[in-house]
Amino acid sequence: MYGNSQNQYNQQYPQNQYGQQGYPQGNNYQQPYNQYGNQPYNQQNFNQQQYNQGLQQQPVMGQGGPYYQYNEHPDSKVNKKDKKGRKSSSSSDGDEENLGYFQQDSQNNQSSGLTSDKFLRSGFVTKVYTILSAQMAVTVILCAYSMSSQKFKNFQLNNPGLMIAALVVNIICLLVLICSRDQARKVPNNYILLGVFTLCESYLVSFICSMSNPKIVFLAALFTMAIFLSLTLYACTTKSDFTTMGGTLYVIGMGLFIFGFFLIFTNNNVMHLIYATACAVLFGFYILYDTQLIIGNKSYKYSIDDYIIASLELYMDIIGLFLQLLEILQRLSGSSSD
């Protein structure tokens, strides 16, 4: 009885070339059994999502009856190797498509990163020039008050000790900000140090302006503003890279500093005029150098955390240029404060 049932089953489910039972053949076709062997496979219960993921079901005859295993769909892009270790053509195509996808995704990530960097740099530039504008406003107001108020001018003349104290505090704040980057980046210490430095520097500059001809001071300020704006525009648009000139500018600056120290003991008008002109040119190059470091589109750039240092450097460049132009105009007009 068992043998007849087995023969009937074999006729209904003939073996394929691999010795496994396949789909039912002939007039006695029935829906294949599912993986539990007791329920016909229901086409309505077909999982379309699994099929879309590259899976298809094929009935395989096992010892417990027909069951279903999930094979790779012919259109699947899963990277597989054949038995000989060679990639099939479909896998190669899939690899190329996957590679293209990852390349596109990498390009998108790079584009997003570049956009983020530009956004951060733009915010950094805005912060630097906002702080610089505040510094210049304080300096201009104090200088204007010193030139317009005779009482304040007399106060400065009658209190030379305050000038010395302002100079000492100015140097201390400058050294702390430049030598200690932690303090230059720590809020609110960095703002306090920069504010004290700006007040001291403005007080010193206002004293120099009060001892000069107001017309010459105004002319020097006008020339400084025009030169600064033109150099800033040039630094932002030129292809030349001035950020690599830091060492050269430092050497020239130290040479001029030593030369200026010995020039104090002379009263040669021509030598002073040449020295002031050389210093003005040096500060002009420093404006180009620091501007490109702030913009950040060349070889070197400021970190976005160094907005105080960037503002300080650019402020000193402008003040230095202004004082040298003031010296040049005074020497040329013959109304030097000496």
pLDDT at residue 104 above 90?
Answer: no
Question: CA-to-CA distance for 64 and 61, rounded, in angstroms?
Answer: 8
pLDDT at residue 321 above 90?
Answer: yes
Interval 309-324 mean pLDDT: 95
Q: According to the model, what pLDDT value does residue 298 have?
A: 87
If one compares 87 and 255, the residue with the highest pLDDT of the two is 255
The average confidence (pLDDT) of the chain is: 77
pLDDT by residue (tens digit) across 217-257?
999 999 999 999 999 999 999 999 999 999 999 999 999 99
Interval 96-115 mean pLDDT: 51
175 burial class (0-12, 13-18, 19+ CB within 10 angstroms)? exposed
Assign 181 a pLDDT band (cuts: 50, 70, 90).
confident
pTM of the model: 0.66
Interval 125-143 mean pLDDT: 95
DSSP alpha helices (H): ranges in 149-213? 150-158, 160-179, 181-185, 189-210
> Structure tokens of 248?
């050269």
